[in-house]
Structure 1
Amino acid sequence: MSTAIKQPHQKELFGHPVGLYVLFFTEMWERFSYYGMRALLVIYMIAQANHKDGPGLGWTELEAYQLYGWYVMLVYVVSIPGGILADKVLGQKKTVMLGAFILVLGHGTLAIDAPWAFFVGLGLIILGVGCLKPNISTMVGGLYKKGDIRRDKGFSIFYIGINLGSLLATSIIGIVVAKWGWHAGFGLAGIAMLFGLLVYIFGQKFISHVGNKPTVEEKKEDVSIMKIFSNIIKSPMQLAIFAVLLAFSIYVGFTKEGVDHWGYGALFIFLSFVVGLMMMIFKSLETQILKDRFLVLLLSFLLVIVFWGAFEQAGGLMSVYTEQKTDRMLFGWLVPTPMFQGLNAGFIILLAVWVANIWAKRKLKNKEASSLFKMATGTIIMGLGFVFMIFAVREYEANGSSGMQWLVLAYLFHTIGELCSSPVSLSFVTKLAPVKYASLMMGLYFAATGLGGKVAGILGEKSESFGEYAIFTGIVIFTVAFGLLVIALLKPLKRLTHGAEDNEVEMNTEEAEGFELAEN
């Protein structure tokens, strides 16, 4: 008899709650809209009036990288207020519904061929993703009881949905743009998001038990964010740290040169408040176990920033490199640039089960397979993918163009690294986050992802002065070194988790044999 723990009154399909597949398809269409638009964003901004796909904005590469960095960061940083809105007011389920509706409006607005529509559309997408992204992931975790070994598998299935949406978008949207222009591509993203909203609406009965509005009792037990901040004056040390950070942020942000100095000022002030919030949450935790786990969770967010700072080059520097310096002719057909971003999603669908099985078999053999080890290993593998971009740059410098094979190999390594790291990090947050702040901590996870996106934009800007070769080499060195550092510190870090991952129900013989059959 299987030892998997089931939530009461849940219908199941293929060994998982039906609600997982509702969230799967909702997220699939949301990611179709997001990655479809992301694949177009930078090349649309730098496209000139005589571009083959129609007139673009005609910006410089530096301006495009700047906006790309801010956009990717804000898309995820707004997950923090999105998580608070869910935790304190609406619940995750209604906040996801609100986010999906705003996203339909945002992508629809981008389809309008007008300067104001471009910025309004991006703003709405930022708000919509902030409401939807952290809360739908938290709901996936809520489908499973604590200790249910199916949780990681459920997140892996959910992650396949994310990448199926990305693959469909990047495969189709480049063709649509080539035939009907940029705004037809943006409009297609809006239609996809509408499909996602409809799936979510009609699947409500299967997720009725998760993500509901906080009850009166839960609100009484919970500690509000404002109350946490009000306690800052009671700790002179924490008040001093916060004051110094805030003063430094104001000085550095508003004395920085550049047209976006105001953005850096706001960012640094925001980060000061985040640090203050983290100090207060740490102080409010009742036990040392919760505090230790909270510290490990914050360290994992540093891994997230490093990982996505490198990985998000796909939508920025690598996208421009593909458009301008790669020989994209295949059997007489010019492969659209967005299709190369689809390699990542395609490899994920092909390799997700294989990578998951490798880790599952390691765990069965009592080998190291903790979440932190997977995340560090994934960061190293992903970073090594940029070795192939170094080869591409050298070939371009020698011949005036580089072959597509370097991009294929780079995306392959990026994908394997992502499969080791990203689905696991989502699950890791749900295991270690204090229950009171579940959505907020998921919001902070996505905010860390967004900060990684900003780092990616900054690296793209620096390529203007340092060159692609230096940037790609630097990414390889830093990601590998940082990943190895985390692995070196693994034992003390695992002790601080106090067995958060040790209580998962072990697979029985039938399930272990299932892994063998899946691999064969």
Structure 2
Amino acid sequence: MSNSSENFFETKVMGHPAGLFVLFFTEMWERFSYYGMRAILVIFLTGALVGDNPGWDWDKPAALSLLGTYAMFVYLTPIVGGWLADNKIGYRMAVVIGALLMTLGHASMAIETPTFLYIGISLLILGNGFFKPNMTSIISKMYEGHDEKKDGAYNIFYMGVNAGAFLGIMLCGWLGENVGWSYGFGLAGIFMFLGMVQFYYAQPLFGDVGAKPKNEKKGIIDTLSEDLESSKEKISGKLNHFITIDYLLIGVFIISALIFIVNDPLSKIGNINTLNFTVAGMTDSLFFALLAAILFILILIVRIPRYERVVRDRMIAFTIFCIFTIFFWAAFEQAAGSLPIYTRDFTDRVLEGNAASIFKIIDAIVTVVPIGIITYVLISLFRQTFSRIGFSNIVLAISFVIIWALVIYKLYINFSAEAKEVEITWFAILNSLFIIVFAPLFTKWWDSKYNPPASVKYGLGLIIMAIGFGLLAFATRNVPLGAETAKLSMIWLVLAYLFHTLGELCLSPMGLSYLSKLVPARMVAFMFGVYYLAIAIGNKMAHYVGGDIEKITKEDGLSYFFLIFTVVPIGLGLLSFALHPLLKRLMHGVR
């Protein structure tokens, strides 16, 4: 155990090193900026060209294609950023570089021109690649020799993730919809910048943890592998070296995937068809998407059987879970694309009289209470660290002064108006709110003797999420074909987000957990990439299908659109249940 790691525990806040809470707030501001920007992007792009707060009037397929490509790269670039941090620049410098790039990205988007939009999104993708993988790596290093504290540390850290998402969606969404889209994009950049400065000037707390690597080649994957080895059986056996057919398949897969990723938004946004051909009625984009999917499966089919039996079986089990993961995120991520469009166009969001008063009170409570709790954490951090990182604390204090000022102004405006039109983005905060409420209950469930096996968790996650879409399908059953607007009750959206969140809590934490249990340490890097690729594919698929909401509504009805995301996950959930005996054998005793 390094002295620097041990020194962390000399300055404690709520039983954990003060450095953990620096990371908590840094991650909170990054999630604030990410979710805040994402909450308003599609609404802004597809909004009418005229009005009090005009948008760009993009077609829905174009807007969601851009969002899908952005979301896909968000899960792919961390693989590169993690390698650079491991081998070249260190975790802390990677976080600072990532935060700076994302700050510039949000600033570019606030200019509101197409050129700066694309520059901004490119900078956000690059910045995310540097930032995302390295925060958890610093925590892992910080807790070396204190494994009993790690679970609690990650729980605190992920509370910061959800707090940031909650605040970002609420404030960027409110400003974007009520004041101007540039203000929403700009606010995301302001807090990303303040988070970067706060983290940079808190460096004295970290010693040499996360600093630039010296001669030793020990990085994220090595650290992860060490963490995992303590929780799984060690498996010996010969290495499965990559051979010519592996490299050939991977090369063609990468080329096919890149053609699809680039061509899809180009064709839908700029009507630029780089290849401009059809195969069996499929566009060039769809053809290369299917080709990439087939090659992805072929790579696994070719490589996995060459492992020894136990390793092979466990990797097959994990691959099956990855396939379920793709379809889960393809449905769940409608929350960023088609659901905001549904909220804007098909939900009655105007409240009057007692209904408006009750909503204002509820909104005030769910706004003030979480911020009050986070402010208490902030004060606790100040008490322990002000003498060592005073400037960092001051920057953090300024951030919260701005937050409280915005919240008070928002509540003042809300309570001053007799009627209330609920913001489109307000519903998106329900996911973070429900996670904060229900996550402790799920943690107790998983820690009890009633902890279900993996296949049941995946099945429950898919089916419970599907219930949320089923409620929306039921709510929209009487919306006429081709209808562009309707006035449906808000309760359907609230219930949908509730079931989506409960499904997420069943399935989402399972991926990395089963990666740690099923995959030998020497193959963590490869399967880590496969898992992130699965989430990336799910995100792109979500917005590729979601972009057709208008077309499907005209041809088959809005209810049919939501039925797609009801029937498919339910079918896959039942399949997961049915596969339990097979998966149990393949996992060879891993629970």
TM > 0.5 between the two? yes
Deviations 1:356-414 (A, max 9, x none): 222222xxx2x334555434422221121111211221254499320000000000111
Considering only aligned residues, what root-mean-square deviation do their CA atoms show, in Å? 3.9
User: Which residue of structure 2 aligns with residue 504 of structure 1?
Assistant: none
Q: Give the match's secondary structure for 2:111.
A: coil
Aligned position for 1:25: 25
Partner in structure 2 of residue 306 of structure 1: 327
Q: Which residue of 1 aligns with 2:383?
A: none
TM-score by length of 1: 0.79
1:5-404 matches, within 5 Å, as: 8-11=6-9, 13-53=13-53, 55-141=54-140, 148=147, 151-205=150-204, 207=206, 211=210, 216-218=215-217, 231-233=242-244, 238=246, 259=271, 292-330=313-351, 331=356, 332-361=419-448, 365=449, 367-370=450-453, 373-394=456-477, 396-397=479-480, 400-404=486-490
Percentage of matched positions with identical amino acids: 36
Are the aligned partners of 1:99 and 1:130 in contact in 2 as well (CA < 8 Å)? yes
> SS of the counterpart of 2:509?
helix
Q: Comparing 432-441 with 314-323, which one deviates more in the overlay?
A: 432-441
Aligned twin of 2:574: 484
* Distance (whole Å) between structure 1 residues aligned to residue 25 and residue 536 of structure 2: 23
1:407 aligns with 2:428: no
Is the CA contact 2:460–2:503 (under 8 Å) kept in the aligned structure 1?
A: yes
Cα 1:73/1:155, change in 2 over 3 Å: same
Name the aligned partner's letter for residue 70 of structure 1.
T
Q: Which amino acid aligns with 2:424?
A: T
Which amino acid in the other structure matches residue 90 of structure 1? I
CA distance in 2, matches of 1:334, 1:344: 20
Shift of 1:250: 9.7
Moved more, 293-302 or 162-171: 293-302
Is residue 458 of structure 1 aligned with residue 522 of structure 2?
A: no
Q: Which amino acid aligns with 2:326?
A: I
Counterpart secondary structure, 1:400:
coil
Q: Which moved more, 1:28-37 or 1:109-118?
A: 109-118
Deviations 1:266-320 (A, max 9, x none): 76787788778868986998x7655554444333322221111111111111100
CA–CA distance in structure 2, aligned partners of residues 334 and 493 of structure 1: 49
**Is contact 1:36-1:169 (8 Å) kept?**
yes
- Measure, in 2, the Cα distance between the counterparts of 1:324 and 1:70: 24
In 1, the alpha carbon distance for the partners of 2:587 and 2:15 equals: 29
CA distance in 2, matches of 1:255, 1:120: 18
Q: Give the letter for the 2:180 counterpart.
A: G
Structure 1 counterpart of 2:497, which letter?
Y
Structure-1 separation of matches of 2:170 and 2:103:
21
Moved more, 298-307 or 207-216: 207-216
Separation (CA, whole Å) in 2 of partners of 1:254 and 1:75: 15
Give the 3 Å change call, closer, same or farther, for CA 308–199 of structure 1 in structure 2.
farther
Q: Residue 175 and residue 296 in structure 1: after superposition, are their counterparts in 2 closer, same or farther (change >3 A)?
A: same
Give the secondary structure class of the aligned counterpart of 1:173. Answer: helix
* The 10-residue stretch of structure 1 (202-211 or 83-92) with the greater mean CA deviation from structure 2: 202-211
Deviation track 1:489-508 (CA, whole Å, cap 9, x = no partner) reads 3354355455566xxxxxxx
Q: TM-score, normalization: structure 2? A: 0.70
Q: How big is the shift at 1:82? A: 2.4
Partners of 1:99 and 1:247 in 2: how far apart?
27
In 2, the alpha carbon distance for the partners of 1:144 and 1:164 equals: 23
Is the 8 Å Cα contact of residues 383 and 479 (structure 1) preserved in structure 2?
yes
Give the length in aligned residue pairs. 481
1:136 Cα shift? 2.6
Distance 1:283 1:213 in 2: 39
Deviates more, 1:14-23 or 1:185-194: 14-23
Secondary structure of residue in 1 paired with 2:94: helix
Inter-CA distance 19–433: structure 2 relative to 1 (3 Å threshold): farther
Instruction: Report the Cα distance in structure 1 between the residues aligned to 2:580 and 2:208, rounded to whole angstroms.
Output: 36
Q: Which amino acid aligns with 2:563?
A: T
2:253–2:292 Cα contact (<8 Å) kept? no
* Pairwise CA distance, 1:29: 1.0
Residue range with higher mean Cα deviation, 382-391 or 20-29: 20-29
Letter in 2 for 1:26: T
Q: For the residues of structure 2 that align with 1:247 and 1:449, how far apart are their CA atoms? A: 19
The DSSP-based 3-state class of the residue aligned with 2:476 is helix
Pairwise CA distance, 1:66: 1.9
| Deviation of the 1:56 alpha carbon | 1.8
The 1-side partners of 2:584 and 2:6 are apart by 32
Q: Give the match for residue 421 of structure 1.
A: 507
Secondary structure in structure 1 of the residue aligned to 2:477? helix
Output the amino acid matched with 1:313.
Q
Tell me the distance in 2 between the aligned counterparts of 1:381 and 1:23.
Answer: 33
TM-superposed CA distance for 1:38, in Å, is 0.6
CA shift in 2, pair 1:219/1:255, >3 Å: closer
- Over 3 Å counting, the alpha-carbon distance change for 1:217 and 1:32 in structure 2 is closer
Whichever of the two has the greater Rg, that structure is 2
Contact 1:395/1:401, CA 8 A, preserved across alignment: no
CA distance in 2, matches of 1:92, 1:279: 35
Higher relative contact order (CA 8 A, sep 6+): 1
The alignment partner of 1:385 has SS state of: helix
Gaps of 5+ in 2: 223-238, 275-284, 357-418
Structure 1 segments unaligned to the other structure (5+ residues): 1-6, 502-520
